[in-house]
Each structure stands twice: as structure tokens, then as C-alpha cells.
């Protein structure tokens, strides 16, 4: 392959382009056929074309302000980029579209690609100049659009490769630095989320099986979906600025519903505030801390079925369970409960927002959500975790986290050591005055709220989303207001925890033990089907390996045809068992990592793949043993 061959693939190479080929028809056709980010589309609509597409030194290029962009890339340079991308196992982000030559070559050679074009005018000029064949590759001109596309790009893979098209880094140095920082944050967030999921997935799944019998005496909270239309919801976090408003939350509980998260509960109690709802999704056992909360017997407990079983058994107030809307839990629990899950992204506060939004609450007000380390504190005074301090080291660009003993004790040893350092990030402060320091995890939560703030005007134009924290980090795109001013304009209501529970019970009575038993036995029956199809798959895989080692093309063709059929059958039997994926995930990932590092001098790529497939089925069988044992214990308890 030569670079000249790459150039000849560019559609523009067939038609020389003049200095200003303004074609609205081409522009509209490109927009229709390409995956252009939503904000980017809006910016393109108002932007004039800029620069020019022309021939120079025998190849097409884009130029602007006397600078040539997207020039020729040598084959050796391209191979180096692809090698870097393969090693990171993550998406490639191309900084600069140019005429699209490098983007097309990267698309052909990498499984996951996005293009960030720093100049909307140049992007519009290119889209008006001629057809661009990039299919579903995301093309974005804003960091928001890049963030929005990240989940599909990364697909839970850690790492990313940022590539600058020729001339772009020099022409847009500040934008490149900013995009590099955004990509780093996104990678760190993905890595943290993946690590958390892989570390805790089986624990969450086993807790679900341990907890579902509580549904025989508890109605799901989202039986109230859409039933609290127009009721204000105040979601109370444990950020350092909570002290500014904690006293006002007593009045807030008269104006709507106050949803406290588990970490903020004690601060409210010390201020004499009793919320209607206490929400907890912790997989770690924080039952001892919750037992110390004075109002634990008076609140509606929005506790997650993925949480610690000890937590779900704390408190005498009404239990209104929820669950996170993750793929492993959504299908089986929606089948059982008949209600949806709550969206979550790294914090119980995101789950609380999702709950309030689905209930129909309006406005939804954040209080005590600093999403940063205001004044060097990690938690508000009065919380169980107060005293946790954070210090910034500007020289190293790191935050030093000094956790209180209460945090260390609650975290325990089962989830690994508490992290002691984070990358230092400074963001605009609430109110727009000054900045506040924060870290990767809190930035991920802030980014989630910012994406919600951008989406709501389209999906829920009536919903007023307000940040009344009065401190900490600004959540871009979310209206800011002082809590006192908001409360003064709201009428009194008389909502109680008991009233919420009665309404939920009327909408969705508790589930019978017979129904839960039927669900568990159905899961066990499906597991038996997976065992049979797994046995058949291993048999066909062994036959394929024998054919390959005998170097018999006829045997290989026959064996691979039967192996493909066995793989299809296995996928069909395992697909309905979403919870099983959580039981098996950690071991499967270890096998996958081992197969990637397997020496290709000892085994062919195909042999390694088949051997790994056999190991996958065995790992899934071990996970099935644990899942089936948990299901049988559940049936015995009912």
C-alpha cells in the first residue's frame, strides 16, 4: 500500500475543486449521510464557509490563513499511528478533518474513530466542496459533542489515541490542548467506571438475588412514575457548601419532597431536618452509619436492589426499592417488577435526579452538590465523613486526598484501597466568580448533569433544572438560583413519606412470593439451556482445533461451519440471562486480556481465539454455578 493509493480513494480526487465551490446541495447531502454531532450541526447552520480546497504538489489539501492543513502523511507515519492506536485498545480521535484523506485511511484501519474539527468554518467549506465518505464516524466541533459520543466510541475500553492531522496542531494549539485534556478526562472516567463495574459487578448481581424477596412487602418507588407532576424535588448532596442551605431544607420539605442521599443524611439530622426520602445505592455495607441517622424510621427508603442486603434491612420506614438502569439489571428486574430503572453515572445523586425526573417532579433543585473540593473539604460539616481533606499540588498537577477514618472504615478492604491521588482539575465556580478545584470522578458527575441540562430543553422543555448549591463548581447550562429565593415563590404542600408509600402501594401492590419463585425458577431453567449449548460449543471448538492442527482444509471448513452454528445457538441461550453477565464479567475479562497477550509465535491467531472461546464457556459455567446456587437459596427463603 502506498500513500498515492490512499489519495486516489478520496472522492474529491476525481473532481478538482475551485477556490470557493459553495454548494448547498452537497452540504445537505453530506449532513444527511454523516454522523455530525448535534451542537456541531447547529453551529454549521450559521457558519460561513472558510478556507479553500485545492490541489498542491499533486494532492488535495485544505488551506486557510496561509496555512496548509491535512497535507500528505507518509506510510511509515500512518503505521506508527495505527500501532499506537492498537496498543491503547481505545478509540482514535483525529484532530482536524481537512479534506478527509487521513480520516478515511484511519476509518479503514481502526475499529473506533471520531473526528474533532476545531474550525467550524473549515468544516462547512469541506462539506460544501464534495462528497465525504465517512459513514457513521462521529464528526464533532465541540467538546460537548465529543463527550456525548464517547460511550459509543469507547465501548468500555480504556485508553485513546489523539492524532493531529498535518498542520492542525500548529494552527490551533489552544484548542488542541483543551481537547487533549477532555480526552484524558473521558479516558479516566471510562477507566474508573469500567474498573468499578468489573470489580463490583458480581457483588451487585448477587445482592440483587439476595434482595428481591423484599418485594413481597414493598412496592417499587417508580410505581409513582409521573404521579408527582409539578411537585418540587430538592436533591441534597453532601458537598461542603451544604452548610449554607441546610437550615432552609426544613422549609423545602413543606414545599415539595426532599431527597437526601445517604452521605448527607446526618448533616440534615443535626440541623433538625427530616427529608421525605433517603436514597442509597451503595454496594458497600453502610448499615451502621444509617442506623445512627435519627430519622431512619420516618423516611421513605429509596434503596437499590443492587445495594448491600444489610442496608435494605435498616430502618422501619416504608421501603420503596429502586434499581439502576444498567443492561445487566434492566431486563430481568423490569420483567419481575414491571417498573423501569433509574439512570446513574458515578454518584447516587444522578440516580436521585433520575428518580425525581421520572416521578414528574418540577422544578428539580440540587442543593449541596459542590462537585468539587470547596475550601479543601471533601464533605460537608455534620456528615459522617466530615474531616476528609484535599490538598492541591500545583507543581505535579495532582490532588492529595486525605480521607477521614469514617470513610476508610465504610469503604472497607473488599473493594481495594481508597485512592489517595487524583488529577487536579480547576473549573469555573458556582455564580461565575473564581474557580474551584475538582477531580476526575466529580468531573464525570458534573459532565453527566451538564449533558442532562442540554438534553432537557428538547425532551422536557417544561422542566426547570436548578443548581441552588451556592458554592462549588458551576454546572454549565444549568440555571443557578439561591434556595431562599426559590422557596419564597413556592406554595406549601403536605407530602409525607407515609403518603408516598400509600400511593405507591395503590398503584403497584407488593409482588407475591409465588411470582418471585416463578421468576427464579425460570432463570434456573434458562441456565440449563446454556449448559447444554455450552457443552456443544466446546465439542465443536475442539473439532475445529483438531482440523487446524491436521492442516486439513476440508476438515477445517466442515468444523468451522458447525462451530459457527454452535456459537449462534449459544448466544441465543445466553442472551436472556442478563444477570449472568455480571456474575461472569470479571473472569471473562481476565481471559480476554490473557488471549490478547498470547504469543503469536506459539499459536495462530485463530487457535488462540478458539481456545479462548472454550475458556469463556467454562468461566460462564462457573458463574452459572454461583448464580444457580443463589437462586435456589432465594426460592428456599420464599
Could you give the CA distance from residue 141 to residue 126 in angstroms, rounded to a whole number? 13
The Cα 350–Cα 342 span in angstroms is: 9
Element (H, E) at 151: helix 143-154
Q: Would residue 198 count as lying in a domain? A: no
Last residue of a domain, one of 171, 194, 214: 171
The confidence score (pLDDT) of residue 222 equals: 97
Query: Binning pLDDT at 50, 70 and 90, where does residue 416 land?
Result: low
Q: State whether 456 and 525 are in the same domain.
A: no
Nearest in space to 327 (alpha carbons), one of 104, 568, 580, 84? 580
Q: Does residue 32 belong to any structural domain of this protein?
A: yes
Regarding whether 91 and 56 lie in a shared domain, the answer is yes
Q: Which long-range contacts (CB under 8 A, 24 or more apart) does 488-497 make?
A: 490/232, 490/255, 490/256, 491/255, 492/254, 492/255, 493/231, 493/254, 493/255, 493/256, 494/254, 495/231, 495/256, 495/257, 495/276, 496/276, 497/276, 497/277, 497/298, 497/299, 497/300, 497/317, 497/318
Q: Is residue 196 a part of any domain in this protein? A: no
pLDDT in tens, 351-399: 999 999 999 999 999 999 999 999 888 888 988 888 888 888 777 778 8
In a domain, 180, yes or no: no
Of the candidates 445, 480, 507, which is a domain's last residue? 507
Residue 601 is predicted with a pLDDT of: 41
pLDDT band at 5 (very low <50, low <70, confident <90, very high): very low
Q: Do 243 and 155 share a structural domain?
A: no
pLDDT in tens, 87-136: 556 788 999 888 888 888 888 878 889 999 999 998 988 888 878 888 88
Mean pLDDT, residues 343-354? 91
Radius of gyration of the chain (CA): 28
In this prediction, residue 509 has a pLDDT band, given cuts at 50, 70 and 90, of very high
Residue 227 lies in a domain: yes
- Identify the residue with better confidence: 422 or 583: 583
Same domain, 517 and 496: no
Claim to verify: residue 68 and residue 166 sit in the same structural domain = yes
pLDDT tens by residue, 574-608? 988 989 988 988 888 777 766 655 554 444 677 77
Q: Is residue 229 part of a domain?
A: yes
Q: Greater confidence, 531 or 85?
A: 531
How far out from the chain centre does Cα 571 lie? Answer: 25
Query: Has residue 338 got a pLDDT over 90?
Result: yes
Same domain, 402 and 543: no
Residues 530 and 398 in one domain: no
Question: Chain-wide mean pLDDT for the chain?
Answer: 84
Any domain includes 125: yes
Q: Is 334 found in the same domain as 283? A: yes
The pLDDT of residue 499: 95
Residue range of the domain that includes 522: 513-637
**Quick check: is 184 in a domain?**
no
Residues 156, 103 share a domain: yes
Q: What angle do CA 579, 346, 152 make, to 5 degrees?
A: 70
Nearest of 255, 275, 245, 238 to residue 484 by alpha carbon: 245
The total number of structural domains in the chain stands at: 3
Examine the fold and report which residue of 467, 482, 507 is the final residue of a domain before the chain moves on. 507
pLDDT tens across 545-581, in order?
888 877 777 777 888 888 889 989 999 999 889 899 8
The pLDDT assigned to 69 comes to 75
- Tell me the H-state helices in 212-271: 249-255, 265-270
> Which of 71-80, 314-323, 574-583, 618-627 is predicted with the least confidence, judged by mean pLDDT?
71-80
pLDDT given at position 219: 96
How would residue 2 be classed by pLDDT, with cut points 50, 70 and 90? very low
Residue 290 has pLDDT above 50, yes or no: yes
Q: Do both 490 and 531 map to the same domain?
A: no
% of the chain exceeding 70 in pLDDT:
86
Note whether 518 and 488 are same-domain residues: no
The pLDDT assigned to 129 comes to 80
Both 148 and 220 in one domain: the answer is no
Amino acid at each position: 500500500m502506498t500513500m498515492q493509493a490512499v489519495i486516489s480513494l478520496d472522492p474529491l480526487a476525481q473532481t478538482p475543486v475551485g477556490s470557493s465551490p459553495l454548494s448547498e446541495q452537497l452540504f445537505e447531502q453530506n449532513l444527511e449521510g454523516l454522523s455530525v454531532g448535534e451542537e456541531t450541526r447547529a453551529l454549521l447552520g450559521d457558519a460561513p464557509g472558510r478556507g479553500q480546497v485545492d490541489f498542491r504538489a499533486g494532492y488535495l489539501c485544505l488551506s486557510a490563513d496561509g496555512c496548509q492543513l491535512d497535507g500528505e502523511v507518509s506510510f511509515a507515519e500512518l503505521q506508527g499511528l495505527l500501532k499506537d492506536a492498537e496498543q491503547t485498545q481505545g478509540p482514535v480521535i483525529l484532530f482536524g478533518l481537512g479534506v478527509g484523506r487521513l480520516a478515511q485511511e484511519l476509518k479503514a484501519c481502526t475499529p473506533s474513530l471520531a473526528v474533532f474539527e476545531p474550525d467550524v468554518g473549515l468544516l462547512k467549506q469541506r462539506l460544501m466542496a464534495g462528497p465525504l465518505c465517512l459513514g457513521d464516524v462521529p464528526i464533532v466541533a465541540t467538546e460537548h459533542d465529543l463527550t456525548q459520543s464517547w460511550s459509543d466510541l469507547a465501548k468500555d475500553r480504556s485508553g485513546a489515541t489523539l492524532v493531529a492531522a498535518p498542520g492542525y496542531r500548529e494552527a490551533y494549539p489552544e484548542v488542541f490542548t483543551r481537547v487533549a485534556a477532555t480526552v484524558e478526562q473521558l479516558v479516566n472516567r471510562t477507566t474508573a467506571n469500567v474498573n468499578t463495574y468489573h470489580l463490583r459487578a458480581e457483588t451487585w448481581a448477587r445482592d440483587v438475588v439476595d434482595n428481591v424477596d423484599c418485594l413481597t412487602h414493598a412496592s417499587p418507588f417508580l410505581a409513582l412514575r409521573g404521579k408527582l407532576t409539578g411537585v418540587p424535588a430538592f436533591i441534597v448532596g453532601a458537598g461542603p457548601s451544604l452548610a449554607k442551605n441546610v437550615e432552609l431544607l426544613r422549609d423545602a420539605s413543606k414545599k415539595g419532597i426532599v431527597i437526601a442521599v445517604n452521605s448527607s443524611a446526618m448533616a440534615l439530622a443535626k440541623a433538625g431536618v427530616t427529608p421525605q426520602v433517603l436514597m442509597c445505592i451503595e454496594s458497600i455495607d453502610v448499615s451502621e452509619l444509617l442506623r445512627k441517622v435519627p430519622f431512619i424510621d420516618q423516611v421513605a427508603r429509596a434503596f437499590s436492589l443492587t445495594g448491600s442486603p444489610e442496608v435494605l434491612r435498616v430502618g422501619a420506614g416504608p421501603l420503596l426499592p429502586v434499581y439502576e438502569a444498567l443492561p445487566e439489571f434492566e431486563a430481568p428486574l423490569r420483567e419481575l417488577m414491571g417498573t423501569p430503572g433509574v439512570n446513574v453515572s458515578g454518584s447516587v445523586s444522578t440516580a436521585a435526579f433520575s428518580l425525581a425526573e421520572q416521578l414528574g417532579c418540577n422544578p428539580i433543585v440540587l442543593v449541596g452538590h459542590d462537585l468539587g473540593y470547596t475550601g479543601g473539604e471533601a464533605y460537608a460539616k455534620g456528615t459522617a465523613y466530615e474531616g476528609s481533606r484535599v490538598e492541591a499540588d500545583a507543581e505535579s498537577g495532582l490532588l492529595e486526598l486525605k480521607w477521614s477514618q469514617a470513610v476508610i472504615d465504610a469503604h472497607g478492604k473488599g473493594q481495594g484501597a481508597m485512592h489517595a491521588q487524583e488529577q487536579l482539575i480547576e473549573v469555573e465556580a458556582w455564580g461565575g466568580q473564581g474557580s474551584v478545584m475538582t477531580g476526575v470522578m466529580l468531573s464525570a458527575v458534573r459532565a453527566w448533569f451538564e449533558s442532562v441540562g442540554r438534553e432537557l430543553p428538547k425532551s422536557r422543555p417544561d422542566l426547570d433544572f436548578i443548581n441552588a448549591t451556592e458554592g462549588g463548581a458551576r454546572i454549565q447550562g444549568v440555571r443557578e438560583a439561591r434556595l431562599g429565593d426559590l422557596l419564597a415563590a413556592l406554595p406549601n404542600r403536605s407530602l409525607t413519606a407515609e403518603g408516598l408509600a400509600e400511593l405507591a402501594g395503590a398503584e403497584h401492590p407488593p409482588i407475591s412470593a409465588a411470582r418471585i419463585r416463578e421468576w427464579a425458577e425460570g432463570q434456573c431453567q434458562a441456565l440449563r439451556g446454556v449448559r447444554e449449548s455450552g457443552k456443544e460449543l466446546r465439542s465443536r471448538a475442539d473439532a475445529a482445533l483438531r482440523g487446524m492442527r491436521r492442516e486439513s482444509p476440508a476438515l477445517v471448513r466442515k468444523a468451522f461451519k458447525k462451530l459457527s452454528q454452535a456459537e449462534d445457538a449459544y448466544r441465543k441461550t445466553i442472551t436472556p440471562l442478563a444477570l449472568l453477565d455480571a456474575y461472569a464479567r470479571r473472569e471473562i475479562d481476565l481471559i480476554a486480556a490473557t488471549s490478547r497477550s498470547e504469543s503469536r509465535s506459539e499459536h495462530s491467531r485463530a487457535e488462540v481465539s478458539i481456545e479462548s472461546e472454550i475458556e469463556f464457556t467454562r468461566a460462564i459455567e462457573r458463574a452459572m454455578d454461583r448464580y444457580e446456587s443463589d437462586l435456589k437459596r432465594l426460592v428456599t427463603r420464599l
